[in-house]
Structure 1
Amino acid sequence: MMSDIFQKLRLDSNPFEPAATGAPLTGTLSPPHDLAEKMKDFLDFHQTGQGVKAIVIAGEYGTGKTCLLQWLHNKVFPEHQTMSFYFDNPGVQFYDLANMLLRTIGRKDFAKFIWELAGLHVNVPYQRTLFQNGFEAYLSNAFHLRRQQDMTSPLQEAIQSAGVTTDEEVAHCLARIVTDIVKKPYFEYRDFIPQQRGSMVPEGEEAPYFRAILKTISQGMGAKAIAFLIDEFEEIGLQKKLTRRAAHDYLATLRRLINLTQSEEIDFWIVLSMTPDAYETTKKLEPSLIVERVSGKTLEIKPLTPNDALTLMKSRIDAVRSEGTDVSREPLFPFPEAVVFRPNTYSNPRRLVKTCFRAIAQADANVQLPFTEKYLHKIEDELYPDSTITGNAKS
């Protein structure tokens, strides 16, 4: 049964989240119209081009970078038949991404992609018979007959014949992902660290290995393209957190990703979100990487306008509006129709959502409706005591 206070607010539940650090749990996920149109223009412009398919989203903490990435991930890229993968603040090493990517897919599913792509190209007669019996039977035979080593070499050759990779060592590592699955049906972090015993990544071959992984995923999932949405390389903005080694690894990873977007073998996109400080620091560390290759592909997130703030609030409220409630005259109820929040609240999506959550959560039977300016300012003061700050502090 709906509580009395929600009935008074004409809502089924609180549509705002207390942390406000990601996509909404209710309602339609959509960035402000102007921002959405700019992003679509970026994608359309680079869709048919042969250049770098890398976009940087720069914005302060709480301005909606994560929501924009989630919108691309859940709505925009699927409409373009692009398989996207979202990474939340990954490590700076290249193998960090490989680890997160393949563990997201799962070893068995990824092994089956490889097996299906290679199956048509196996030349050894008894191997062809094993493929005809299906994936599970293939694994069962490998385990019970202890033929993993005998089966790896033909599979490696088939992977090369299928055009997944021309590199023998990379093909061998991919074949091992399949044939060794009977011994270990899951991935571990150390599987992706070159020089580690039993590593699935050949030393010095990280880039071709990653390219082969992307081709396998693209063909295995029937996707026209692959996109990586990487949220917050934010520690790069704070020099004291980056050792010289970490900075080198970060730039090496970024360079490899950008190079992959230009590969003729795979249609690959990257969308990076970072703070303006992080973006400026990256440009200073290696100007040629960002200024020359990603110049013109940076989207800066601006503060919300009052109309943007009202649109965001309405989309959340509409999703939990009590059925049969007529709010044609007061569509933002229990909030007033005009923006009465302070500018540094309504201009920052995270602060706005947190404040709206608190306003509803603290409402009681005696609260005046619609919420008054005095009541909402009291909530702001509780959340952000120093209300004179105009910047978007991390919160």
Structure 2
Amino acid sequence: MNRTRVVVLGAGIIGSACARELSLAGFDVLVVDRGRPAGGTTSHGEGNILVSDKGPGAELALARLSARLWPLVVAELTAEDPHAAIEYDPKGGIVVATTDGGAASLTAFAKSQSEAGVVANPLSANEVAAAEPALTRDVTAAFHYPQDAQVQPAGAALALLGSALRHGARLRADTEVLGSVVANGRITGVRVPGEVLGADVVVNAAGPWAGELSARLGSPIAVRPRRGEVLVTMPMPGVVRHKVYDADYVGAVGAGSGELQTSAVVESTWGGTVLIGSSRRRVGFDATIRPQVLSAIAAKAVRLFPALADVAVMRAYGGFRAYVDDHLPVLGEDPRVANLWHATGHEGAGIGLSVGTGLLLRESLTGATPSMPLEEFTVDRPAVLA
């Protein structure tokens, strides 16, 4: 019996999550990436699985779905491969304000989230100090989000892809997609150097490159890169116990300006290093690391955690996030070309939203009832159609 052939374009965490779900559903899956698996945006993130930074709406619903799925998926992946380097850590997050205005905004934001089903517990000054002893005492409001978690992003993506391969998927790395083949209004394959890869369904999961790739496929969508940088300190185990960020972070995420946006985001890894972010700016695919950006990030982090002032920074890295003007992911079939699907536009939330995205794509392609409404993610909305 012939199986539906699906070509997934992109071997980052979104493409890997989609490939796994479709492989489990019995599709004949081929994953194509112009580089190496998890070698782009995925390997340049912090691995966050967050509900704390999203206001009520479709993205929060997807975040809550994904947060419920992650421990189940991790258990399945670990059962398949006990050595998978996922580093899933349901450590929770703490969001703090350090001004009276910030406290009012944070309190109102947390209230709206609670009404949408997010667990957001207010913390007293003593509770903040007990939870994060190294945190500044100049805190005017704080909320604990126990549903926040973290993974090692590249490790998690490779575990998802490895599971897809174990269930029959195939991988073509170092393969550039040059264009598409369309017949009678339906995509039937993609052109790569020297051949055509036939497909019944094509999934554009190329992250910040999805805009450029969609143009090559003849159906452009308005997904652009938005750059962020992260500092990595020497190991300092136990100093930062949760993901901690200041209330300005939510505003930076939602800002539409292409100018530099920074806020303090601080968290540790299993190895004890501390990841310090965050920045957002639109500079195309310019990968230059700017010292002034790193300085702005560091200054805000030190105000939040004064102990970081004397800690050595081992390295800094930056990556591109898949940005859409309305700040919502793109998940659905292209209205112009049948059987061309897009799964992109998650910006800095792609790690956390990946498993939910994969499930929703599987449900859509198999005709199952979706786990949540998809109307706000469709391709035919003004922010997406180029």
Q: What TM-score does the superposition give when structure 2 sets the normalisation length? A: 0.24
Structure richer in strand, relative to its length: 2
- Flag the structure with larger Rg: 1
User: Relative contact order (alpha carbons < 8 A, sep ≥ 6): 1 or 2 greater?
Assistant: 1
Q: What TM-score does the superposition give when structure 1 sets the normalisation length? A: 0.24
